[in-house]
Structure 1
Amino acid sequence: MRLVIVSGRSGSGKSTALAVLEDSGFYCIDNLPAGMLPELAERVLLDAELLRPQVAVSIDARNLPSQLKRFPALLDELRQRNIQCDVLYLDADNATLLKRFSETRRRHPLTDEHRSLAEAIHEEIALLGPIADLADLKIDTTGLNLYQLRDSIRLRLLEKPEPGTAFLIESFGFKRGMPVDADLVFDVRCLPNPYWKAELREYNGLEQPIRDYMAAQSEVEEMFNDLNHYLSKWLPRFAASNRAYVTVAIGCTGGKHRSVYLAERIGQALRTPLRNVQIRHRDLS
């Protein structure tokens, strides 16, 4: 049995996450009382019609605070029964959540005559802390649109090829903000920039003209060797510590040339010593 527990502050994208999982064959339940997790797992395991059951549940601030405080013990109980559990936690910055509620005109579940929307959004941090602290995968949806969030969930949760630590090698551009959910961040803006070559500017790091240019630069080769050596040595230590997801972010100015070239090359190189390696280019659009 595989169980995905989706949580996060209101407006962070939980409904989208459940929709993606449902489209992928998961039986989805929204707003499940946390205390019912063991009973749900028992019923699913006893159902002979489900040979490879996949269930996703949303647990959020609509739960009673006493139920949310029990979450760590409930999760431990599930895992002791050898149930594969992934805890996905979605979040966004306060300004983005306020904007989303203003645009949709939805009522926040914690607002009342004594609590404003801003106060309710802030209060969720403490309420959902027991879940956030145990999340296997956190996705910051601040800068993501609907389609980007769907793609991110598919890549991280659904395209994970086998059990074990899933490593994501991600390129990005600093001008669009650093990915806050990255575990390791490397800045490669010190390398020669193809952007300043007029004949190369319109290509990206996946295309042959940029690959040829980067491969000819001695500093690039030195950076690749150093990063590849470091990651080949230390990423297996993350796997040994039972981490479910690890994100390595490589950034340049715009996220189009240098970071894309290195992320792609390093990701391909790491697929030899590591099993679950995914590559994503955040700003290549």
Structure 2
Amino acid sequence: MRLTVVSGLAGAGKSVALNMLEDLGYYCIDNLPLGLLGEVSAETLHRQGLDFDRLAVGVDARAREAEIGHFAERIDTLRAAGIDLHVLYLYADEKTILRRYSETRRRHPLTGDNRTLVDAVAADIALTRPIAEKADVSIDTSRLNIHQLRDLVRNEVEGRVAGELAILVQSFGFKYGLPPAVDFVFDVRCLPNPHWVPELRALTGRDQPVIDHLDAQPALPEMRDHIAGFLTRWLPDFAAQDRTYITVAIGCTGGKHRSVYLAEAVAACLRADNDHVLVRHNEL
């Protein structure tokens, strides 16, 4: 049986992730008390005649603090019992969590008479830390919409099932800051910038005039080949270390032209050997 534990901060997208897993054929249980995780898993593992072999369980800070403190021990016990277990942790920065609750006007599960929303978010971070530390994959949803999060979850899960790395290649602009939780960062600000070509300034690296312009610059295809060659050489070694998810960030100044062009081009190269490559453009 394949068991995925989905956890994270309230407001970070746990329900979206569970819905995606349900669409992928998982039987999903949300807000399961941690004390029942072993019992439910064992029952599912040994019960005959079930029409599913994939279970996803949602766990959050509403579980008792003492139970969360034993999370790592429970996970190790289940794995020792032969369960293919994977922990997915979702988080977002505090500002984003506060904004999401303000926009939806939903009540944070840890708020109370003597706890403000800010205090509740801080408590959530502290309470779920043992889960975050045990996670196989952590996804920062601060800059993701629902569709992007669903794509990331699907890509990661399907890649793991197929025994392949799930790879996210993302473009970004250094002027807006480095994306969090990335494994490789490539700085391409040394390359010719289409921003200074008036007729290309309003376009992006996905528009054909920009693509044609950059294709004509010898340094761009060379940079593409070097980045793709490096990743193609070393990603199998990461997969051999039981890594299931790799994030590659390619940055230029504003995140509109060079990094977008190269993210698309590098992803196309990687797809020759891997079906689970996703592209995201942070600044578009």
Q: Give the TM-score normalised by the residue count of structure 1.
A: 0.87
- How many Å separate the matches in 2 of 1:284 and 1:122? 28
Answering whether residue 90 of structure 2 is matched by residue 90 of structure 1, we say yes
Match of 1:3, SS?
Answer: strand
What is the SS of the residue equivalent to 1:144?
Answer: coil
* Aligned position for 1:5: 5
Matches within 5 A, 1:18-29: 18-29=18-29
- What is the total number of aligned residue pairs between the two structures? 284
Match in the other structure for 2:237: 237
**Alpha carbons of structure 1 residues 164 and 131: separation in structure 2 relative to 1, 3 Å:** farther
The Cα of 1:162 is off from its aligned counterpart by 0.8
- Counterpart secondary structure, 1:233: helix
Which one-letter code corresponds to 2:241 in the other structure? Answer: S
Name the residue aligned to 1:255. Answer: 255
Q: Distance in 2 between matches of 1:160 and 1:212?
A: 36
Answer whether contact 2:170 2:282 (CA < 8 A) is retained: no
Q: How does 1:130-279 map to 2 (within 5 A)?
A: 130-158=130-158, 162-201=162-201, 203-271=203-271, 275=274, 277-279=276-278
Deviation at 1:180, TM superposition (A): 0.8
SS of residue matched to 2:109: coil
- Tell me the residue number matched to 1:17: 17
Q: Does 1:107 align with 2:111?
A: no
Gaps of 5+ in 2: none
- Paired letter, 1:37: L
The RMSD of aligned alpha carbons is 2.6
- The one-letter code matched in structure 2 to 1:119 is D
Shift of 1:228: 3.0
Q: Give the SS at the match of 1:82.
A: coil
SS in 1 for 2:134: coil
- Superposed displacement of residue 284, structure 1: 7.2
3-state secondary structure, aligned to 1:133: helix
Contact 2:65 2:127 in 1 (8 A): yes
Question: Which letter does structure 2 place at the counterpart of 1:132?
Answer: A
Query: After superposition, what is the alpha-carbon deviation per residue over 1:151-205, rounded to whole angstroms, capped at 9, x for unaligned?
Result: 3323333465612432222223345543212121212122112233344445543
Measure, in 1, the Cα distance between the counterparts of 2:163 and 2:248. 19
Which of 7-16 and 231-240 deviates more? Answer: 231-240
Residue matched to 1:59: 59
Contact persistence 2:173–2:253 (CA under 8 A) = yes
How far the C-alpha of 1:30 sits from its partner, in A, is: 1.1
User: Could you tell me how far apart the structure 2 residues matched to 1:252 and 1:186 are?
Assistant: 9
Residue aligned with 2:45, SS: helix
What is the CA–CA distance in structure 1 between the aligned matches of 2:177 and 2:265, rounded to whole Å? 23
CA drift at 1:64: 0.7
Paired with 1:166 and 1:146, the residues of 2 have a C-alpha distance of 19
TM-superposition CA deviations, 1:116-144 (whole Å, max 9, x none) = 22122112222111110122222212222
How far, CA to CA, are the matches of 1:117 and 1:205 in structure 2?
Answer: 40
CA distance in 2, matches of 1:34, 1:154: 25
Q: Distance in 2 between matches of 1:49 and 1:256?
A: 53
Q: Matches of 1:56 and 1:233 in 2, distance apart?
A: 34
Partner of 1:247, secondary structure, is strand
Deviates more, 1:59-68 or 1:14-23: 14-23
Return the alpha-carbon distance in structure 2 between the equivalents of residues 151 and 233 of structure 1. 26
2: CA distance, partners of 1:163 / 1:36: 29
**Cα pair 1:162 1:276 within 8 Å, conserved:** no
Task: Label 1:108 to 1:204 Cα distance change in 2 as closer, same or farther (>3 A).
Answer: closer
158-167 or 258-267, which deviates more: 158-167
**Counterpart in 2 of 1:280?**
279
CA 131–226 in structure 1, closer or farther in 2 if over 3 Å, else same: same
In 2, the alpha carbon distance for the partners of 1:243 and 1:145 equals: 25
Identity of aligned residues (%): 49
TM-score normalised per structure 2: 0.87
